[in-house]
Chains A and B, each alone.
Chain A
Amino acid sequence: SYVLTQPPSLSVAPGETARITCGGDKIGSKSVHWYHQKPGQAPVLVIYSDSDRPSGIPERFSGSNSGNTATLTISRVEAGDEADYYCQVWDSRATVFGGGTKLTVL
């Protein structure tokens, strides 16, 4: 089955840029979706189809996807961005999530 690899954790200072990666074999040929999840809450879609933002998601959130790596970029990080972030793709008739990255805002 298809495997998505994310770094377990990432720490950034407020105002800095966070780049969360999601690795997979030829992931650039797939459509990647991103979610964030705060403790005790359901996941929230933040980026779909590699780089599109749902309504209500700040422009600070952006995405890219090429080769074997997709990246979620959060500019001007705020304390409220602290959460777990998951990537998701489809492979054949199944979908998979990455292992998640815990973003800590210092």
Chain B
Amino acid sequence: QITLKESGPTLVKPTQTLTLTCTFSGFSLSARGVGVGWIRQPPGKALEWLALIYWDDDKRYSPSLKSRLTITKDTSKNQVVLTMTNMDPVDTATYYCAHSVGFGELFFDYWGQGTVVTVSS
């Protein structure tokens, strides 16, 4: 059974760096073809993909946010960490991590419950 859970601060101040952790179970991020991605959703708005890390440590980033994002994995802890620098109120959103598997045009078949992050002074 695959599960993912996001954790991190619920409130950050503008200009601060956000660090979110995705802790998962039921799969290994060292298995060929596996990936974990981060997706966010501002209140009342659409989903926005942020980043994805593959089993082989290949990393993909949203072009519009690439300069602010870093994604890493700790296979031994079954965790993926996303950092986002220079937070702004427009970054207020629910942040999800999700599992993907396969090669090529991946989809997200298991999602965490999401964690709400508010950016405010």
Give the interface of A toward B (CB within 8 A).
1, 30-31, 33, 35, 37, 42-45, 48-49, 54, 86, 88-90, 93-100
Which residue of A88, A93, A97 contacts B60 across the interface (Cβ within 8 Å)?
A93
Residues of B within 8 A of A37 (CB): 47
Task: Tell me if A's interface is mostly helix, strand, loop or mixed.
Answer: strand
Q: Is B49 in the interface zone, CB < 8 Å from A? A: yes
Residues of A within 8 A of B48 (CB): 97
Stretch of B8-16, B17-25, B77-85, B104-112 with 4 or more beta carbons under 8 angstroms from chain A: B104-112
Give the interface of B toward A (CB within 8 A).
37, 39, 46-49, 52, 60-64, 96, 104-109, 111-114
Residues of B within 8 A of A44 (CB): 111
- How close is A92's CB to chain B, nearest CB, in angstroms? 9
CA distance A52 to B104 in the complex (A): 16
Residues of B within 8 A of A97 (CB): 39, 46-49
* Contact A95:B47 (CB < 8 A) given known A1-B64, A31-B105, A45-B108: no
* Contact A98:B111 (CB < 8 A) given known A89-B105, A90-B105, A93-B60: no
Given contacts A45-B108, A45-B109, A100-B46, 6 further A-B contacts (CB under 8 A): A31-B104, A86-B47, A90-B105, A97-B47, A97-B48, A99-B46
